[in-house]
Amino acid sequence: MPPFHAILVGLTDPLAAQLKQEFAARGVPVEHELPTAEAVVSSFAGELPTPRLVVLHAPTREIAAAISCVRDHFPNWPIIAVLDRVDASGVLLAVNRAGAEQIVSLPLNHADFGEALARIMSRFRPIGQAGQVLAVTGVIPGSGATTLAAALAGELASTYAIRTLLIEATLRMGVLALHLNVQPKLFLTDLLLESDKLDLDLFRKAVTPVAPRLDLVAAPPELTRTIPHPVQGMLQVINLARQVAPMVVLDLPCTFDDLQFELLWTADQIILVGEQSLPAIRTLRMILDAAQQANAVKRVHVVLNKYDPSIANLTAAQVRETLNQPEILTIPNDYSDIMQAVNEGCLLRNYAPLSPVLTGIRKLAQAVVGPPRPQPEHRHTFLSRLYEFFHPTASAT
């Protein structure tokens, strides 16, 4: 199945017919032919559609503005700019800064266009076509969302045997590389700073193994310089992550900016982490309302972290009624074991497998993906015992 439907913008015959042939030869459907960038915006007004591939042509003096128009409204849609000529002063730079992923010039060259298209298809994948994305975000600072995201990712990788990729989706100083005692070759910010070159090969260099079936893309443990176009870059990262792992867990900080909400609305499921306080309940209500209006998320889970059932007027049942939610999940407080796991540089399940926090995490995992499948019983036949005798390390893995 091709990763995109295409939209032709500002193209007329015979060039439009030629491009249709190019797409048909590669199995890419042409969904719309529209006259201007403004027509693209108006055609999808009020929607949150899956990404399209836009092939855009406009007069030389207008093409950068047309690209910016599409990019501002649909930041995760790849754009191929079709230029009348490439020797015009400043045009290439303007088109690149406006947000075009690829540039082709007229007259159209079959090999050149094919290379541009292949490059885009290797870098982008539409939402929902591959791995599932779980966005975990706190609703107030200090709610413990990062710890919860890491524990949930570890549970999905171990109990559920799902290849899971944990992404520390912050532009600020990261902590997960230190908490999990790993040394990434590349960090998230390295990918974002190379967004114009970002593809699967580069992305995989930032994927760091943590445990069996669990990998991490970490934010650097120090402050970095400003990232240009962070929303566009993060959407590229998520699309590539979906191609690498069947389960992607985003650890999102509660920054309440465009980046946080853009990434929330790209997720298949959202996990909102709050606590038993009035500010947290008010913020939960606000985000739940926004998610309902966005109409882009399959399911939202509400978690009360560090839960104390003795706190009056803020029990799980009362919060559920206040928020009009079918279920409120709770995670008990186990500060000592959590801090000791951080100090040991390991997952909570490896340091304290009997921690009550993990009981709550398992309930959350079941709410997200359903009950785990029973593992098949290992039968020790004569041949398997003979093999294990001569390969003792194999039976230990």
The model's pTM: 0.64
- Together in a domain, 64 and 100: yes
pLDDT at residue 201 in the model: 85
pLDDT at residue 210 in the model: 94
- Together in a domain, 138 and 112: no
Residue 163 lies inside a defined structural domain of this protein: yes
Angle, alpha carbons 190-115-38 (nearest 5°)? 80
- Together in a domain, 93 and 113: yes
pLDDT at residue 127 in the model: 43
Cβ-contact 208, 185 below 8 angstroms: yes
pLDDT at residue 188 in the model: 95
pLDDT at residue 362 in the model: 93
- Together in a domain, 19 and 88: yes
Residue 270 lies inside a defined structural domain of this protein: yes
Residue 99 lies inside a defined structural domain of this protein: yes
pLDDT at residue 129 in the model: 47
Q: Name the domain count of the chain.
A: 2
pLDDT at residue 269 in the model: 93
In the numeric block, which tokens belong to residue 155? 């549970």
pLDDT at residue 170 in the model: 92
pLDDT at residue 395 in the model: 44
Q: Which residues of the chain have pLDDT under 70?
A: 1-3, 27, 46-49, 86-89, 122-130, 224-225, 295-297, 373-397
- Together in a domain, 348 and 263: yes
For residue 57, what are the CA distances in angstroms to 43, 70, 80?
A: 18, 12, 9
Residue 243 lies inside a defined structural domain of this protein: yes
- Together in a domain, 147 and 118: no
Residue 152 lies inside a defined structural domain of this protein: yes
Core vs surface per residue 164-201: b (16+ CB within 10 A) or e: bbbbbbbbeebbbbebbebebebbbbbbbbebeebeee
Structural domain including 158 reads 132-369
* DSSP characters over 319-344: HHHHHT-S-EEEEE--HHHHHHHHHH
Cβ-contact 207, 215 below 8 angstroms: yes
Cβ-contact 311, 333 below 8 angstroms: no
pLDDT at residue 394 in the model: 45
pLDDT at residue 46 in the model: 61
